[in-house]
Each structure stands twice: as structure tokens, then as C-alpha cells.
């Protein structure tokens, strides 16, 4: 099964194994899936819903409602999903779903959902092997749900036997090795080019000038555009974040290589998102041999790199949408407006990596969107997934593509 661009609703029920769902959610996101969460009232006693809201970037569907609740939220969330995972699933939740009850968020989503359903029972061995639980498992399996084995091992209660919740990594492998559900993500016929990661400018065979970009924002953008039905190509500089499967990747290292790749691909896409952290300068010459340590002052002459954003705007065709990024640490709004005007981009994403636990290498960032009609004076702190969704919504609006729920 292809997880890239997959919309997954993660149902969490009451059990100590609920903590594993945090890691599962993150692993699903790393594979390029978009994840939302529903929780039974009992599940919130084990892991707080705020944790899942922060990790997923979306409100959690709870018995008490949601911050942006709608009258038909119990229909909206399951109908949004391509796949429902109930992990972990308690004996009580198994019984409710097998019996057709829909009296809390997870069973409501199970009842209202029309997508593929995967369930991972997790409980004490005696409960797992009981007649009632095995009967409910059989009922759900006969109804088309995929029931994951509950492996044997040491349980939270100290006993040893079957009933453990599968490890998140094994769930990911099972999903990737499974056949694609019958409902697949339709294409909207649009193509987007994204630059990601950083550039490296060689000084000699072993040293280079670079920055600390991890590529996480670019990966979030690639996943969000895939979820919206775009065909995605990434011009990828060096980075730590893993590019989800299914993304066409053009690997580069230097700013000049990235410039060449972008200008080559530009005519064939509908939108370009310049997310990569590109070095403004490069050494004028690259030493053929390693520069020796003489303990004396070293002068390094730098020359400017090509401005990829401005050059792509200058060569854009009618109807194309071009998005730029600006990282500023002081007088941020003033510099962002100036960069927007000079570049001619349709949108500039200003991010300021000064907040604690945000920016380089983190999953959240302080940012604002700047356009000619919107000065972007209010910087907000949110996840990079949320940032990506805002960029996709902007591009959709400019291209006339209907934004998916």
C-alpha cells in the first residue's frame, strides 16, 4: 500500500498501549500520510488529546466535541479518510464495533466510514483468548475489517502471552506490504515542483559552506500536495528528512545545480515552491586539494549564487504560481516585504527560527504568509504540516483547484 498522500484516521481506544499510537502517528507522517485522530473517552486517560492534536496538526475528535466542531463531524472525519486504523483496540471497543454500537468517536467513525478498516486488538491474554473477544474478532473480519495479530510477549500487567499491541514499525511494514484499498486518491491533473533541503558549496574536496536546514518543511509540503492530488517533483539538496515514496526526486548539491534543475523543470509544472535553504554565496574557487591547517588567517573570497526564485519568476509562464520562502532573524516583516517585491513571487512564506523548539530540525515553526495584498504582520507558531496545508490552499485558490476536506 502506498502511504504517500494517504488520509488516515487513527482511532485510539482505552489501553496502556495507547502510548504506541504517538510513535505510529509520527511514522505515518514520515511516510507521507496525513493523519487525524479520534479517541474514546477511556483513551484520554492514558494519553492526553492535546498530544495527538499537536502531533497531527488537527483537532482530535472527542466525546465532548472538538475546538472547531461541526454538526456532522462524526461523518466528516471518517468520510475524509482513505483508511481507518483502530490501534490499539480494547475488548470493549471490539464489542461495540462488532455489535453495531456508535456511542463514542471511534465506534462512530467505524460505523460511518466507508474506507478500509484495520484493527489491532490489545489486551490481557485471558481477555484476548476469551470466547467473546474471539467471536467479535471473527465478526469484524467477516465484515471486511483487517484484524492484526496480537503478538505474544510480556504484557503491561506482568503476565506473558498473546495480546500485545503490534509495534509501530511493524504496523508500518504491514501497511506498506498490503494491497492498495479499492478507493485511491484521484489526481487533479496539476504538477508542482518543490525545492527542499539545503545547498553545499565546496571549498575543497572535504569542506563546504552550508546551513542547518533539515528538509522537514519540504517533506511536509510534498505530502500535502500529494494529498491534494498533485504530481510532485522535488529538487532535493542534502537533508536529513526522508522523502516519502512516490515523489520524483532530482538530487543536487550546489545552488548552481539547483538553479539548473529548476529552470529545466519550470516549463512543465503548474506551480513552484522554493522551500530549499539556498546558500547566497559560494567560494570563488574550489581548492583541488584539502586546504592545510597552517594556523594562520585564511581569506576566502565569495561570489554570489544565482537567485533561483527571481529567475524562475522572470521565466514563469502565464497561469503559473510561484511561492518563495524567506528566513529572517531581525526586522523580519520589513525584509520579507522587500523580498516579495523584488522577486515578484505570488506568495512569500516568512519564517523566523527564533522561538524555542521550532525551526531547523523541529516539526514546528514560527511563520506568516505574505502577499501583495496581505502584509503578513502576524507571525504564528504552528506545525510544518499546518504551514504546508496553508501553502497548498493558496496554490489551489490561484489555480482554481477545489481544496479537499
CATH number, domain at 80?
3.40.50.1950
In-domain check, residue 184: no
In-domain check, residue 277: yes
In-domain check, residue 242: yes
Residue from 22, 109, 157, 165 carrying the catalytic annotation: 157
- Catalytic annotation on 157? yes
The CATH number given to whatever domain includes residue 232 is 3.40.50.10300
CA angle (286 as vertex; 285, 291 as ends), nearest 5: 120
The residues that bridge with 233 in the sheet, in sequence order, are 193, 248
**What band does 9 get if pLDDT is binned at 50, 70 and 90?**
very high
CA angle (386 as vertex; 77, 47 as ends), nearest 5: 60
Q: Is the predicted pLDDT of residue 357 greater than 70, yes or no? A: no
Asked whether residue 202 falls in the same domain as residue 144, the answer is: no
Q: Which residues lie closer than 8 Å to 220 by C-beta, 6 or more apart?
A: 383, 384, 385, 387, 388
**Domain end call among 129, 148, 177:** 177
Asked whether residue 17 falls in the same domain as residue 164, the answer is: yes
Q: Which residues lie closer than 8 Å to 280 by C-beta, 6 or more apart?
A: 304, 305
Grid cell, residue 289, equals 586539494
What is the arithmetic mean of pLDDT over 62-80?
Answer: 63
Asked whether residue 358 falls in the same domain as residue 240, the answer is: yes
**Domain end call among 177, 209, 241:** 177
User: What integer pLDDT is reported at residue 351 of this predicted model?
Assistant: 84
In-domain check, residue 158: yes
Q: Which residue has the higher pLDDT, 322 or 402?
A: 322
User: What integer pLDDT is reported at residue 182 of this predicted model?
Assistant: 52
Kindly report, residue by residue over 194-209, the tens digit of the pLDDT. 999 999 999 999 899 9
3-state secondary structure of 110: helix
Grid cell, residue 144, equals 471486511
Whole-angstrom distance, CA of residue 181 vs CA of residue 33 = 15
In-domain check, residue 328: yes
Whole-angstrom distance, CA of residue 241 vs CA of residue 197 = 8
Distances from the Cα of 192 to the Cα of 128, 225, 240, angstroms = 48, 8, 22
Distances from the Cα of 9 to the Cα of 152, 165, 270, angstroms = 27, 18, 30
User: What integer pLDDT is reported at residue 168 of this predicted model?
Assistant: 95
Overall pTM > 0.75: no
Number of structural domains the chain divides into: 2
Give the range among 24-38, 58-72, 149-163 with minimum mean pLDDT. Answer: 58-72
- The DSSP call for residue 267 is G
**What band does 352 get if pLDDT is binned at 50, 70 and 90?**
confident
Q: Is the predicted pLDDT of residue 97 greater than 50, yes or no? A: yes
Asked whether residue 118 falls in the same domain as residue 260, the answer is: no
Residue 195 and residue 218 in contact, taking contact as beta carbons nearer than 8 Å: yes
In-domain check, residue 185: no
* φ, ψ for residue 160, nearest 5 deg: -120, 130
Distances from the Cα of 135 to the Cα of 84, 87, 114, 138, angstroms = 21, 19, 23, 5
Mean confidence (pLDDT) of the chain: 87
Q: Is the predicted pLDDT of residue 70 greater than 70, yes or no? A: no
User: What integer pLDDT is reported at residue 67 of this predicted model?
Assistant: 40
**Domain end call among 177, 204, 231:** 177
Q: Which residue has the higher pLDDT, 156 or 103?
A: 103
Asked whether residue 11 falls in the same domain as residue 47, the answer is: yes
Residue 267 and residue 317 in contact, taking contact as beta carbons nearer than 8 Å: yes
In-domain check, residue 21: yes
**What band does 72 get if pLDDT is binned at 50, 70 and 90?**
very low
Asked whether residue 34 falls in the same domain as residue 93, the answer is: yes
| DSSP string for residues in 272-290 | EEE-SB--SEEESS--SSP
Q: Which residue has the higher pLDDT, 210 or 263?
A: 263
| Residue indicated by cell numbers 532573524 | 329
| Residue indicated by cell numbers 474478532 | 137
Domain enclosing residue 268, as ranges: 191-287+295-399
User: What integer pLDDT is reported at residue 4 of this predicted model?
Assistant: 86
Asked whether residue 345 falls in the same domain as residue 240, the answer is: yes
- The DSSP call for residue 134 is H
Whole-angstrom distance, CA of residue 94 vs CA of residue 112 = 16
Give the relative orientation of helices 91-99 and 105-112 as an angle to the nearest 10 degrees.
40
Asked whether residue 116 falls in the same domain as residue 248, the answer is: no
User: What integer pLDDT is reported at residue 258 of this predicted model?
Assistant: 97
| Residue indicated by cell numbers 462488532 | 98
User: What integer pLDDT is reported at residue 174 of this predicted model?
Assistant: 94
Whole-angstrom distance, CA of residue 365 vs CA of residue 337 = 19
Kindly report, residue by residue over 325-340, the tens digit of the pLDDT. 988 766 667 777 888 8
Asked whether residue 168 falls in the same domain as residue 31, the answer is: yes
Grid cell, residue 63, equals 466525546
In-domain check, residue 88: yes
**What band does 366 get if pLDDT is binned at 50, 70 and 90?**
confident
Amino acid at each position: 500500500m502506498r502511504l504517500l498522500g494517504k488520509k488516515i484516521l487513527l482511532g485510539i481506544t482505552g489501553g496502556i498501549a495507547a502510548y504506541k499510537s504517538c510513535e505510529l502517528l509520527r511514522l505515518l507522517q514520515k511516510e507521507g500520510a496525513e493523519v487525524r485522530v479520534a479517541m474514546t473517552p477511556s483513551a484520554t486517560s492514558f494519553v492526553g488529546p492535546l498530544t495527538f492534536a499537536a502531533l497531527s496538526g488537527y483537532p482530535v475528535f472527542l466525546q465532548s466535541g472538538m475546538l472547531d466542531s461541526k454538526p456532522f463531524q462524526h461523518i466528516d472525519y471518517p468520510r475524509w479518510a482513505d483508511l481507518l486504523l483502530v490501534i490499539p483496540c480494547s475488548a470493549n471497543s471490539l464489542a461495540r464495533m462488532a455489535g453495531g454500537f456508535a456511542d463514542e468517536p471511534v465506534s462512530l467513525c467505524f460505523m460511518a466510514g466507508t474506507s478500509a478498516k484495520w484493527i489491532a486488538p490489545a489486551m490481557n491474554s485471558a481477555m484476548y483468548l476469551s470466547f467473546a473477544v474471539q467471536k467479535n474478532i471473527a465478526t469484524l473480519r467477516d465484515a471486511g475489517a483487517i484484524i492484526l495479530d496480537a503478538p505474544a510477549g510480556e504484557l503491561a500487567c506482568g503476565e506473558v502471552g498473546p495480546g500485545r499491541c503490534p509495534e509501530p514499525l511493524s504496523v508500518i511494514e504491514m501497511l506498506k506490504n498490503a494491497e492498495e484499498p479499492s478507493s485511491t486518491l484521484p489526481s487533479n491533473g496539476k504538477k508542482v515542483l518543490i525545492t527542499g533541503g539545503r545547498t553545499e558549496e565546496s571549498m575543497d574536496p572535504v569542506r563546504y559552506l552550508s546551513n542547518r536546514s533539515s528538509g522537514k518543511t519540504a517533506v511536509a509540503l510534498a505530502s500535502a500536495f500529494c494529498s491534494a492530488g498533485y504530481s510532485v517533483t522535488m529538487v532535493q539538496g542534502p537533508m536529513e528528512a526522508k522523502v516519502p515514496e512516490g515523489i520524483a526526486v532530482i538530487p543536487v548539491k550546489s545552488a548552481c545545480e539547483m538553479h539548473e534543475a529548476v529552470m529545466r523543470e519550470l516549463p512543465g509544472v503548474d506551480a513552484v515552491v522554493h522551500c530549499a535553504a539556498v546558500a547566497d554565496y559560494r567560494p570563488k574557487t574550489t581548492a583541488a586539494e584539502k586546504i592545510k591547517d597552517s594556523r594562520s588567517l585564511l581569506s576566502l573570497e565569495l561570489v554570489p549564487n544565482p537567485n533561483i526564485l527571481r529567475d524562475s519568476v522572470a521565466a514563469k509562464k502565464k497561469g503559473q504560481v510561484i511561492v518563495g520562502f524567506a528566513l529572517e532573524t531581525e526586522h523580519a516583516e520589513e525584509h520579507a516585504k522587500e523580498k516579495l517585491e523584488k522577486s515578484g513571487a505570488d506568495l512569500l512564506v516568512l519564517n523566523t527560527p527564533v522561538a524555542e523548539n521550532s525551526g531547523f530540525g523541529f516539526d514546528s515553526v514560527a511563520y506568516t504568509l505574505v502577499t501583495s495584498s496581505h502584509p503578513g504582520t502576524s507571525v504564528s507558531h504552528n506545525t510544518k504540516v499546518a504551514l504546508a496545508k496553508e501553502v497548498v490552499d493558496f496554490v489551489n485558490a490561484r489555480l482554481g483547484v477545489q481544496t479537499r476536506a
